[in-house]
Amino acid sequence: MNISKLVAPYGKSTMPILAHALVNMRQGRGTLTVTDIGTRITVRLEQSDKIDAKFLIPVKEISGKLKGTKKVMVTVTGITDGQNTCDLAKDLEINDFPLKRTMEEPVEVQIKDTKVFFAIIKQALPFCHKRKIVSEYANCLFITYGEGDTEIVASNIQNLIRFRTEAMELPENAPFRFRRYKINKNHLGGFLIPAAAAERLPQIYDRKKPLKCVVYNQEYAVFDDGTVEFTVRLPKPEMPCYDTALERAGCYGNEYIIIDPEVVLKDLSKFLEEHRKDKVTTVLYDRTDTMTVRHVLAREEGVPALNYGIKRIPGTRNMDRIALNGFDLERALKVQGTDHIRWDSVGLVPIALKGSGEGYTFDIVIMPVGF
The number of domains in the chain is 3
* Parent domain of 308: 253-366
371: in domain = no
Q: 295: pLDDT confidence band, cut at 50, 70 and 90?
A: very low
Is 233 in a helix, a strand, or coil?
strand
Higher local confidence (pLDDT), 90 or 311? 90
Q: 230: pLDDT confidence band, cut at 50, 70 and 90?
A: very high
- The whole model's pTM is what? 0.80
How would you classify the pairing of strands 321-325 and 338-342?
unpaired
**Statement: residue 335 has pLDDT above 70:** yes
Whether 325 and 280 have beta carbons less than 8 Å apart is answered as yes
The residue from 245, 264, 287 where one domain ends is: 245
Q: Which of 3-7, 45-49, 226-230, 282-286 has the lowest mean pLDDT?
A: 282-286
Range 85-108 average pLDDT: 77
Range list of β-strands (E), 205-245: 211-216, 220-224, 228-233
The residue from 52, 69, 96 where one domain ends is: 96
Range list of β-strands (E), 59-114: 73-75, 78-80, 85-87, 106-111
The residue from 96, 128, 147 where one domain ends is: 96
Residue 57 amino acid letter: I
pLDDT score recorded for residue 123: 94
80: in domain = yes
